[in-house]
């Protein structure tokens, strides 16, 4: 396997650091690996043939979700999600990757069938859902990726892909696709063409599930707000009526004695 180079972002600038790992919570260490038999070049940029899959991976201690988008030829300057360049990051549309409990994240970027032209693109990995124009308070990493056409691409069998955009509130809802954990909302992900079972849940809300059909080159969207689980209405309390006090034995005896005396006097 080829060497892996790590790229450390600090204050929005790219610095090649070899194998240095930064332990500060507000920085993102981003390792980009180009698969399909290619190696990461010695510099910062990556290169691939359109139709190949690029695995983006790294660590983001303290973050729960990484938001991915790109800029490049004929794309919106504020950024577009990796899985569907026709959407806009400025509209809150991002490709997302879940950060594991160990602080690692990974996203497999399939460059086939999404309408990208040959050229150089800049991929952004950000710790919050903001577009390129609103990165002032964000921790992020950028890396240039050059996509080119290749004369041998016709010999590769690529799986037909579409994409799914899940915009379900409250954000942070858990998304499972075909029974497997896929991430948290808002979620953008590439999927094979065909029918898929989607289940969405969040603590304190009623879960939601549905089947969707993914079409090649198109994005299927789910937009919904989960319904809070209502607390059960408390049962009405039963009023307690205090018992009627009963005369004690000596009071009854005195009353009986008085009645007997009265009867005797009459006789």
Asked whether the predicted pLDDT for residue 3 surpasses 60, the reply is: no
Q: Which of 106-115, 155-164, 195-204 is most confident?
A: 195-204
Q: What is the pLDDT of residue 131?
A: 95
pLDDT tens per residue across span 211-264:
999 988 788 889 999 999 987 777 666 666 666 655 555 444 444 544 454 545
- Cα angle, residue 122 at apex, residues 27 and 90 outer, rounded to 5°: 80
Which ranges constitute the DSSP H helices of the chain? 249-266
Q: What are phi and psi of 29, to 5 degrees?
A: -95, 120
Summarize the confidence of residues 13-26 as an average pLDDT: 37
Summarize the confidence of residues 30-46 as an average pLDDT: 38
What is the Cα–Cα distance from 77 to 55, expressed in whole angstroms?
A: 24
Among the listed ranges 108-117, 147-156, 196-205, which one has the minimum average pLDDT value? 147-156
Task: Report residue 33's pLDDT band, with 50, 70 and 90 as the boundaries.
Answer: very low
Q: What is the pLDDT of residue 159?
A: 63
pLDDT tens per residue across span 166-216:
889 998 899 999 998 888 888 888 888 899 999 999 999 999 999 999 988
Q: Which domains does the chain have, with CATH numbers?
A: 1-156 (2.60.40.10), 159-231 (2.60.40.10)
- Residues 6 or more apart in contact with residue 44 via CB below 8 angstroms: 7, 14, 16, 143, 144
Q: Which of 134-166 are b and which e, b meaning 16 or more Cβ less than 10 Å from the residue's Cβ?
A: ebeebbbbbbbbebeeeeeeeeeeeeebbbbbb
pTM (2 d.p.)? 0.50
């Amino acid at each position: 396997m080829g060497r892996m180079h790590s790229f450390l972002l600090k204050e929005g600038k790219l610095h090649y650091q070899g194998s240095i790992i930064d332990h500060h919570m507000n920085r993102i260490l981003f390792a980009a690996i180009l698969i399909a038999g290619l190696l990461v070049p010695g510099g910062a940029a990556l290169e691939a043939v359109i139709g190949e899959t690029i695995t983006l991976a790294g660590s983001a201690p303290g973050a729960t979700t990484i938001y991915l988008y790109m800029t490049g030829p004929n794309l919106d300057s504020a950024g577009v999600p990796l899985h569907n360049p026709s959407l806009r990051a400025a509209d809150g549309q991002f490709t997302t990757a879940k950060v594991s409990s160990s602080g690692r994240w990974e996203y497999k970027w399939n460059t086939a069938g999404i309408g990208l032209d040959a050229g150089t693109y800049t991929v952004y990995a950000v710790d919050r859902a903001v577009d390129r124009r609103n990165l002032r308070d964000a921790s992020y990493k950028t890396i240039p990726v050059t996509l080119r056409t290749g004369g041998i691409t016709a010999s590769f069998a690529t799986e037909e892909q579409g994409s799914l955009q899940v915009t379900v509130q409250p954000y942070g809802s858990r998304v499972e696709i075909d029974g497997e954990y896929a991430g948290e909302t808002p979620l953008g992900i590439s999927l094979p063409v065909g029918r898929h079972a989607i289940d969405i849940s969040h603590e304190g809300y009623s879960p939601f599930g549905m089947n969707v059909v993914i079409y090649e080159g198109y994005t299927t969207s789910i937009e919904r707000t989960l319904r809070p689980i209502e607390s059960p209405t408390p049962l009405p309390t039963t009023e307690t009526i205090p018992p009627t006090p009963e005369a004690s034995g000596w009071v009854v005896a005195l009353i009986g004695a008085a009645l007997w005396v009265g009867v005797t006097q009459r006789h």
